[in-house]
Amino acid sequence: MKGIVEQRAVELAEYIIENKTTVRAAAKKFGVSKSTVHMDVSERLKKLNPSLYNEVREILDINKAERHIRGGLATKQKFSNNF
């Protein structure tokens, strides 16, 4: 079981890096929760593969910095479609 978790952490990180995607999108693609993705790429990956962790961390930091913009755009779209 342990090998599967480590492998999943690496696969999630590679997916996020290749597609420059969010934790939510990766969770949906792999059929796991956002918490699981976050735990895999933040905690487990840091111990398994520090260089891969640093790459995925950059993308997650960008996503975190941009999330308020995406949220505002989603709200704008939601209300502009209702009228």
For residues 16 and 35, give the distance between their C-alpha atoms in angstroms, rounded to a whole number: 15
1-20 tens-digit pLDDT: 356 999 999 999 999 999 99
User: What is the value of pTM for the model shown?
Assistant: 0.79
pLDDT digits (tens, 9 = 90+) for 21-37: 999 999 999 999 999 99
Q: Say what the pLDDT of residue 1 is.
A: 38
Instruction: Give me the domain span that covers residue 9.
Output: 2-81
Query: Which tens digit of pLDDT belongs to each residue from 46-78?
Result: 999 999 999 999 999 998 888 788 888 888 888
Number of domains in the chain: 1
- Residues 6 or more apart from 51 whose CB is under 8 A from it? none
Q: Which one-letter DSSP state was computed for residue 1?
A: -
